[in-house]
Structure formats: C-alpha cells, structure tokens
Amino acid sequence: MPEEQPLPLTVIEEFEDVGPLVGILIGSESDREAMEPACVELDERGISWELRVLSAHRDPRGVAEYASTAALRGTRVLIAGAGMAAALPGVVAAYTDLPVIGVPLTSSKSVMGGLDALLSIVQMPPGVPVACVSVNGARNAAILAAKILAQGGGYPGTPGRPAAEL
C-alpha cells in the first residue's frame, strides 16, 4: 500500500482574517510581559505575528476555534505560553497539525518556580508532540519558530518560505 502523504497546507484566501506566520497564545493577561521577548525577537527578524489571550481552562472553545483555523489563515507556527497547570500548548496541539512550541511560565502562584508548567507542557502523550523551551524561554521559542519557518520543502506538503523571505 502506498505511504500516505501529508496534504499540503493551503491558505484559504476567502478567510476574512488572514493570519500572520506566527501565532502566539497566552493563557492569561498576566502572562503578557513574560512573552514580550518573543514578540521583540520576531519583530527584529521581520516575521509577522499576533498575540491572543486564550485560556485552555477558561475558554476552551476559543482555543479550539483559534487552533483549528490557524493553518487555514496562513499561520505556520504556534507559540503557546502558560503557567501553573499549563494545558494550553497541549490543547492547541490537539487541534492543529502546525508545530506548537510551548513556553512554561512562572507566576506568583507557580509551584517550584515554574516546574508545574514545565512538566505540564513537556509531558505530552505519544502522538501529540509539543516542543518545549525553558521556563520563561519566550525568546528561544521565537528563534525556534524562525528556524522552523526557514525550513522550506523538507517533505511533500511542508509549508515554508525561503530564508531570504523571512
């Protein structure tokens, strides 16, 4: 039986709200400051991004809708930052085939300086991978996103642009 090839990701032009290359999600407004280095890094690299506050626990439907339509809007990598029981990156990964980079965050309510969020993000079950950077590693998440975007045409159906376009 021939091996199944992944379908190419196409941008639906009719989509009212065409997305940026990178979508950044945070679980709470209180996470915004910690994720700022990711926004700065992407700006410096000329990579388009947007940031949305969507909690996996407080607004699961919103997360599902955003994650399941991101590829159709043209977004190619998702970064999700969250603290405490940080389900956001994993839930996002459950709704999209785009690569998801999780950023464990510390907050005043964190256990062991963010170990709670780190384990929540890194301990994904087999079949639903999430890349995980260090605690408060927002800048590294952006750099990793840029590297992913620079990989064009690795295998059939892989989205991407030549590095020169980034």
Binding site for ligand RP5 (CB under 6 A): 27-28, 30-31, 55, 82-84, 105, 107, 109
3-state secondary structure at position 120 = helix
Q: Which two tokens stand for residue 27?
A: 């679980």
Which CB atom, from 107 or from 158, has the smaller least distance to ligand RP5? 107
Burial of 81 (0-12, 13-18, 19+ CB in 10 A): buried
Q: 13-41 b/e with 16+ CB inside 10 Å = b? A: eeeeeebbbbbbbbbbeebeebbebbbeb
CB of residue 162 to ligand RP5, shortest distance in Å = 35
**CB of 104 vs ligand RP5, minimal distance in Å:** 9
Nearer to ligand RP5, 27 or 74 (CB): 27
The residue among 131 and 135 lying less far from ligand RP5, judged by its C-beta, is: 135
Residue with Cβ nearer ligand RP5 (63 or 148): 63
Q: Residue 118 CB: number of other CB atoms within 10 A?
A: 24
Minimum CB separation from ligand RP5 for residue 146, in Å? Answer: 23
Distance (Å, whole) CA 19 – CA 52: 12
Q: How far is the CB of 35 from ligand RP5 (least distance, A)?
A: 10
